[in-house]
Amino acid sequence: MFLKKFNVVIHPPKAPNILEVLWNPPPFQWIKCNTDGSSNLQSSSCGGIFRNKDPDFLLCYAELSSAMRAIELAKQYN
């Protein structure tokens, strides 16, 4: 939508379907976590971001968080 307001023309790579997705704020006193991921035949990745209704940045994570959690658990269980 942002690009449409400025009449920006996008020439995307050939994709089966392109879908515009708009962010909607969560209700008052709620926190929203938006996640996304992608993959191909060689690799995959994921991540997410936490925001409140304003939408202030609160926290984000990426695939690295899984490795960090594995290290924490390894330390916890010796």
Predicted TM-score of the model (pTM) = 0.54
Looking at the predicted structure, is the pLDDT value of residue 4 above 80?
A: no
The length of the chain is 78
Spatial contact of 48 and 36, defined as CB atoms under 8 Å apart: yes
Q: For position 13, what pLDDT does the model report? A: 67
Percent of the chain with pLDDT over 70: 83
- pLDDT category at 12 given cuts 50, 70, 90 is low
Question: What average pLDDT does this structure show over 13-40?
Answer: 83
Rounded to the nearest 10 degrees, how much is the dihedral formed by the CA atoms of 60, 27, 20, 4?
-100
Looking at the predicted structure, is the pLDDT value of residue 45 above 60?
A: yes
